[in-house]
Chain A
Amino acid sequence: MNTSAEVKEVTRRNFLRGAAGLTGAAVALAALDELEAHPETALASYEAQIAALQAVNNDPTQMDVLERMRIELLRALQKPVEDRRWIMVIDLRKCVGCHACTIACVAENKLPPGVVYRPVLEEEFGEYPNVTRRFTPRPCMQCENPPCTPVCPVEATYTNAEGVVVVDYDQCIGCRACIAACPYGARTSDFGLTYTEDLPVADNLIVGMDTAEAYERASNFEYGEARSRKGHSSPIGNARKCHFCLHRVRVGELPACVTTCIGRATLFGDANDPHSLVAEMSAKPNVIRLKEELGTEPRVYYLV
């Protein structure tokens, strides 16, 4: 049985662990501020990072695709914003349905219960003995003709200069018209729930409960803004969606779902760079897009 001192000790350790995660996110936020304040310093930094990565391995065919995509990402960041065109390519033959991307996304964006940006759809085909399963990760399609943006009564959701469909949480009135309009079910509403609140626990029975509560309330850093979950403040009450981890991308980090994909099934990069991996893969003949017939022109491609 734990003594009170032990419980406190564990709680403190958990707190430090949680704080380390938050510190990482805060560093990313600081990097964004730095980028805005001194773009020339950021550019030099990108070049240095590219050089460091290439010093280890300079053969794109030999390096891990994560390294290659990172170099391409840093290269894209040196271009004007409007010259970038972020796309995602998901190789369904490589996806094993581990849901690591879903969990990484939840952790990165600190998504509350009922909010999901990137579920993995599971389907089963055929009859024994010819049975197969298909796993389809479904982030926001970041459509070029998004049906979700024109229905917003206050222009709270729009396509930004980089081609990513974003939500202005402070502008959103929470009508959920965009959620109804999305043909991919890619938006969810934040109803203000937390995982820890109202849990039926006795005092000190769950170790780290207080840390977990504090972690849930602490800020996430979507869109490069620190937003804590307090009262009814945004993003509570808002429509939420995948934003290609823009807060990471802008500081030279790949989206969380890309870095955690154990099969390297999810690729990300600048389609306007003809030498990028995503430009190469999205030009393959076995590429499809979901519900192409709707004319939404998704920026997420699937290799089948």
Chain B
Amino acid sequence: MTKKAIYGLSVLAVVLGLYGFYSRLFIGEREVNYGSFVTWGLWVAMYLFFAGVASGSYMVATLDYLFEIPLFKGVGKYALWGAMVTLPAALMSIGFDLGHMERIWKVYLNPNFSSLLAQMVWGYTIFGMVILLTLWMVFRSPEKPPLALKLLMVVGFIMAIFVSGGVGALLGVNASRLVWHVGLLPAQFPIFSAATGFALLLVILAFFGPEDDPRLGQQLRVLGITVIVMLIVKTYILWADFSMSLYSGVPQNVDAINEVLFGQYWWAFWIIQIILGTVLPVIVLAIPNLSRQRLWAGVMGLLVLVGFAAARANIVFPALTIPELEGLATAFSGPHLSFEYFPSLMEWSVTVGIMGLATLAFLIGLDRLPFFKKVQDLSHER
């Protein structure tokens, strides 16, 4: 029943996304609200989010195939498949953000490796191939992970940290944006990614996990506690970041933090990221009875993911809403020359469409890919 509902919602999301896809592919970027001042908008934030989920999911898959933790035996495939569908979602999101997406091949043929962006394009390409190879190897030997698979998981784990930290560095290297230009960013992004990986697995197992697996309650409980720990770590990092910035009092940095806390995105921070994405899940998942129940665990996992998506947006937009020079905001007026930003309908449409496609791909894989059948068979055998 749940799966059918999610199928329906995914198809609806794809339909809603058709307008955005059409507008972006056939009209261009005229209907977007990001511009020359807020250069990166919703699509870049969603790229960071989806890419983080992909690398985090791969990290989580190591619990099964590298560390062979009995409780997670057989669920690594879900995490891997989650990584496989979220990585293209990330690349789609960032691809649509490019002014000339048809020239992406230039990053392969004429790369400038001093650019973090070029490193990321190559990194994600290699990471995508590693995920595919891992899936193939898992499919070939479902029972016991061979040494080759373990070695591949080590490579993939390192790649996952590289790409998730890399996107942090992608923002962090911009010395002109003080709020980004801290070592914390590339350090905290892999932690954010791992947290979203755990949250995604929580959602997957809660909604689609094998019905009769006796371990499910315990799995949800352990994943719930892990997510709580991750959320506490995330909140501590946030506190360290914000308090240091506010204490130092450097105007551009303070302005950006104030923008997050009290500016045009205050609701995204306080309501979505903190209350719904952190406080509520921590409380619910801390209650043993609730955290073992599929619906509660799944919904909380979903809220954590939404909270992290908002967190990514709260990193990207506010830093860009602070003018580089006094008077720049009013010096010249025109479309796409604003320091205020809220995504346009077309931007939302694209994002909803991408989410729909990723969810649909996940569900179809779950139903059609033979190896999920085998997982379910295995759990039956147990």
Extra contacts besides A114-B337, A136-B327, A154-B112 (9): CB < 8 Å: A115-B36, A115-B334, A153-B117, A173-B99, A173-B100, A173-B103, A177-B117, A190-B99, A238-B100
Q: Which of B172-180, B220-228, B302-310 contacts A (4 or more CB under 8 A)?
A: B172-180
When distances are taken between beta carbons in the complex, the residues of chain B under 8 Å from A114 are 35-36, 334-337
Complex-state Cα separation, A147 to B180, whole angstroms: 15
- Pick the contact of B112: A113, A155, A189 (CB < 8 A): A155
When distances are taken between beta carbons in the complex, the residues of chain B under 8 Å from A236 are 28, 99
Contact, CB under 8 Å: B324 / A153: no
When distances are taken between beta carbons in the complex, the residues of chain A under 8 Å from B115 are 150-154, 177
Residue B114, interface by CB 8 Å = yes
When distances are taken between beta carbons in the complex, the residues of chain B under 8 Å from A189 are 35-36, 39, 99, 336
Contact, CB under 8 Å: A122 / B330: yes
Residue B268, interface by CB 8 Å = no
Contact, CB under 8 Å: A172 / B36: no
Can you list 30 A-B pairs with a CB-CB distance of less than 8 A? A102-B332, A114-B36, A114-B337, A119-B328, A120-B331, A122-B327, A122-B330, A136-B325, A151-B115, A151-B173, A151-B174, A152-B115, A153-B118, A154-B103, A171-B110, A172-B100, A173-B103, A175-B97, A176-B40, A177-B115, A180-B40, A184-B324, A188-B337, A189-B39, A191-B336, A193-B335, A232-B100, A237-B99, A237-B100, A238-B99
1/0 per residue, CB under 8 A from A, across B54-82: the answer is 00000000000000000000000000000
Residue A174, interface by CB 8 Å = yes
Instruction: Name B153-196 residues within 8 Å CB distance of A.
Output: 170, 173-177
**In the complex, which residue of chain B has the Cβ closest to the Cβ of A189?**
B36
Residue A259, interface by CB 8 Å = no
Nearest CB of chain A from residue B359's CB, rounded to whole Å: 27
Contact, CB under 8 Å: B106 / A116: no
**In the complex, which residue of chain B has the Cβ closest to the Cβ of A138?**
B325
Nearest CB of chain B from residue A41's CB, rounded to whole Å: 35
Instruction: Name B101-155 residues within 8 Å CB distance of A.
Output: 101, 103-104, 106-107, 110-112, 114-118, 121
Sort chain B's interface into a size bin. 35 or more
When distances are taken between beta carbons in the complex, the residues of chain A under 8 Å from B337 are 114, 116, 188
Residue A207, interface by CB 8 Å = no
Contact, CB under 8 Å: A191 / B335: yes
Contact, CB under 8 Å: A147 / B100: no
Contact, CB under 8 Å: A119 / B98: no
Residue B45, interface by CB 8 Å = no
B interface vs A, CB < 8 Å?
28-30, 32, 35-37, 39-40, 97-101, 103-104, 106-107, 110-112, 114-118, 121, 170, 173-177, 320, 323-328, 330-332, 334-337
Nearest CB of chain B from residue A156's CB, rounded to whole Å: 8
**In the complex, which residue of chain A has the Cβ closest to the Cβ of B337?**
A114
Nearest CB of chain A from residue B135's CB, rounded to whole Å: 28
Nearest CB of chain A from residue B287's CB, rounded to whole Å: 43
Name the 5 nearest CB pairs between A and B, nearest first: A174-B99, A237-B99, A183-B176, A121-B327, A119-B331
- Pick the contact of B325: A151, A185, A192 (CB < 8 A): A185
Instruction: Name A140-177 residues within 8 Å CB distance of B.
Output: 147, 150-155, 171-177
Complex-state Cα separation, A175 to B104, whole angstroms: 10
When distances are taken between beta carbons in the complex, the residues of chain B under 8 Å from A109 are none
Nearest CB of chain A from residue B284's CB, rounded to whole Å: 38
Contact, CB under 8 Å: B116 / A147: no
Interface of A is mostly: loop
Complex-state Cα separation, A155 to B336, whole angstroms: 25
Contact, CB under 8 Å: A180 / B29: no
Contact, CB under 8 Å: A180 / B174: yes
Q: A147-B174, A191-B35 are in contact. Are A176 and B107 (CB under 8 A)?
A: no
Residue A209, interface by CB 8 Å = no
Complex-state Cα separation, A290 to B325, whole angstroms: 9
Complex-state Cα separation, A181 to B328, whole angstroms: 16
Complex-state Cα separation, A145 to B40, whole angstroms: 24
Complex-state Cα separation, A233 to B323, whole angstroms: 30
When distances are taken between beta carbons in the complex, the residues of chain B under 8 Å from A121 are 325-328, 331
Residue A282, interface by CB 8 Å = no
Contact, CB under 8 Å: A172 / B37: no
Contact, CB under 8 Å: A119 / B116: no
Contact, CB under 8 Å: A122 / B99: no
Nearest CB of chain A from residue B80's CB, rounded to whole Å: 28
Contact, CB under 8 Å: A138 / B175: no
Nearest CB of chain B from residue A293's CB, rounded to whole Å: 10
When distances are taken between beta carbons in the complex, the residues of chain B under 8 Å from A147 are 174-176
